[in-house]
Amino acid sequence: MSSDSAAPGRSVPPPTEAAQHDWAAVLAAMGRNFSEFMARQQSTLVSHAPLNGSVFPAPEAARFVALQQQWLENQQRLWQAFAQRGPEDRPVPPVVQPDPSDRRFRSPEWTKSPYFDYLRQAYLLNAQFMRACVEATPVSDGRIKDRMRYLSKQVIEAMSPANFAATNPEFVETALRTEGESIRRGMENLLRDMQQGHISMSAPGAFEVGRNLAVTEGSVVFENALIQLIQYAPKTEKVHSKPLLIVPPCINKYYLMDLQPENSLVRFLVEQGITVFLISWRNPDQALAHFTWDDYLRLGPLAALEVVRSVGGDPQPNTMGFCVGGTLLASAMGVACGRGERPAASMTLLTTLLDFSDAGEIGCLVDEGMVTMREQTIGRGGLMPGRELAQTFSSLRPNDLIWNYVVGNYLKGETPPAFDILHWNCDSTNLPGPFMAWYLRNLYLENNLCVPGRLEMLGVKVDLGKVDMPAYLLATSEDHIVPWTGAYLVRRLLGGETTFVLGASGHVAGVINPVSKDKRSHWTGGNESTAEEWRANAAEQPGSWWKHYIKWLTAKSGKKVAPPAQAGDAQYKVIEPAPGRFVKGGATH
């Protein structure tokens, strides 16, 4: 490509006057054809309305006819608007505008050209029509309707003109400006991501566990077939006598809790005088493919609690669980309390479901057929690949977590910025099939955990009402995995006093909201019976929820004492420095 056509730094040349006249003529002809098409379609719709009524009841059939007619009228308005742009390509008022939060069409290139502006607006009209049709479908089953919304979202967002080279003006502009270099880089990015098996969401090579992630000083003091237990070194002259055990989710690596020093929740807690122990889950391979929910309870939270009691010197430590780690922790507490034990001084649950009646979009994907299929395949011994889980979670926000990177990485040839949370998001782990199948059936599908005595775990019929230690419950307002209203339902299940806090942002960014940046807000309130009542009366507090939490936690962490001279004790000796082998995929022992 010659430098005269588009040298680096130069904009795309405007179309010639002849080309503008040609475009106006084409639009005029297409507009006439479209008007004739619309008239035929309206006649067809009217004549077939009784036939539609045989499929849907009359009110729904009439609503579909109205939606189709409205769509046709909007398309005609769009054609007429573009036919009026004329040879000088003068702008006309848009027929439809994207949502202000939609970043796909913000580039001025989308409105400079009639061709791309038409594609943009036609797509938006089609998307509106498809969503309206889903909402108009007479389906009384809420889970089926939610699945229709989910599936239609996948189609709508996949078909955006921004996702394709021929229909994205930013691709064309970037290719001309870089003289094709962006296309070469995009192909390199695509080949790299195909080799690694996932779309790069963060700059490749920017992060490494143990180098600039998970660097808070600590030691592995225990391990079994499933976990390593890390004890973090003190950073204060005095520490609280009660330690804290953290149970992270087992579907990702633990270091979300210990990212970089400035946004590490672990480091923050240690700097406040808390002795922190943390579970590092193994990434299961075929040797662990038979592990069950009970195995995860026995070898995970319950085994870790025994070690924490011994090393920490307190029979009732504080505990914290995040997401499914919180579900495992609460289940373990239910087992221990059902045995008549007093296992912990407190329990913190971060974005955790125990009542799955309000499980969000993930819940709509789980039905009897899907669960039965999993039970008959991996449920008998096998693995749920981590990539499959990651893709499912990304599909809940396809524009942000899929197509944004397809366009940036491959069409524009860009390298995504270094982002530690998104690096972690791509570092998924497998799950044993029996564990996953049990989880899907008993929690997402049948919602058995919230019924006292219905589930037996490790020989104990679990009743969460017997879990009577104080509990701190955090939800986040924009969580697409654990709806905050679903997390609120935990309050009616536990037997002890609960403190509910609502953080801003989503499932991960709302939790990892460091005091050092003190962004966003959080809301605190009382003990209202419903989530809506609580929200109406909650008080907004500026900045990170970490500030509120540390006051709650330290009040339950005992007096200040001298920190331990070294990690571990006579029974549980140091095995290796943190972050340990398991987070890096070490061999099974």
Q: Note the pLDDT tens digit of each residue in 483-540.
A: 999 999 999 999 999 999 999 999 999 999 999 888 899 999 999 999 999 999 999 9
Residue 510 falls within a domain, yes or no?
yes
Q: Which of 67-81, 300-314, 407-421 has the lowest mean pLDDT?
A: 67-81
Total domains, the chain: 2
Instruction: Kindly tell me if the per-residue pLDDT of 114 is higher than 90.
Output: no
- Asked if residue 484 and residue 364 are part of one domain, the reply reads yes
What CATH code is carried by the domain that includes residue 353?
3.40.50.1820
Residue after which a domain boundary falls, among 131, 152, 179: 179
pLDDT of residue 90: 63
Q: Note the pLDDT tens digit of each residue in 60-97.
A: 778 888 999 999 999 999 988 887 765 455 666 889 99
pTM of the model: 0.88
Instruction: Kindly tell me if the per-residue pLDDT of 340 is higher than 60.
Output: yes
Termini Cα distance of the chain: 58
Kindly compute the dihedral angle of the four CA atoms of residues 203, 208, 209, 212, in this order, to the nearest 10 degrees.
Answer: -90
pLDDT of residue 14: 43
- Asked if residue 222 and residue 170 are part of one domain, the reply reads no
Instruction: Kindly tell me if the per-residue pLDDT of 580 is higher than 60.
Output: yes
For the chain, the maximum distance between any two Cα atoms, rounded to a whole number of angstroms, is 88
- Asked if residue 392 and residue 245 are part of one domain, the reply reads yes
pLDDT of residue 440: 97
Residue 1 falls within a domain, yes or no?
no
Residue 499 falls within a domain, yes or no?
yes
pLDDT of residue 81: 84
pLDDT of residue 89: 58
323 is catalytic: yes
Residue 204 falls within a domain, yes or no?
no
Task: Phi first, then psi: give them for residue 141, nearest 5 degrees.
Answer: -75, 115
- Asked if residue 245 and residue 120 are part of one domain, the reply reads no
Full domain range(s) for residue 415? 218-584
Instruction: Kindly tell me if the per-residue pLDDT of 313 is higher than 90.
Output: yes
Amino acid sitting at position 214: A
Instruction: Compute the chain's Rg from CA coordinates.
Output: 28
- pLDDT, mean of residues 418-444: 96
Give the separation between CA 382 and CA 285, rounded to whole angstroms. 9
DSSP for 210-267, please give it. Answer: TTTBS-S-EEEEEE-SSEEEEEEPP-SSSEESS-EEEE--TTB-GGGGG-SGGG-HHH
- Asked if residue 255 and residue 169 are part of one domain, the reply reads no
Residue 413 falls within a domain, yes or no?
yes
Catalytic residue among 250, 323, 337, 450: 323
3-state secondary structure of 288: helix
Give the separation between CA 338 and CA 464, rounded to whole angstroms. 9
Q: Note the pLDDT tens digit of each residue in 534-577.
A: 999 999 999 999 999 999 999 999 999 999 999 999 999 999 99
Phi-psi region of 360 (alpha: psi -120 to 50; beta: other; left: phi over 0): left
- Asked if residue 244 and residue 138 are part of one domain, the reply reads no
CB-CB contact of 280 with 216 (8 Å)? no
Give the separation between CA 185 and CA 371, rounded to whole angstroms. 42
Band of the pLDDT at 589, cuts 50, 70, 90?
very low
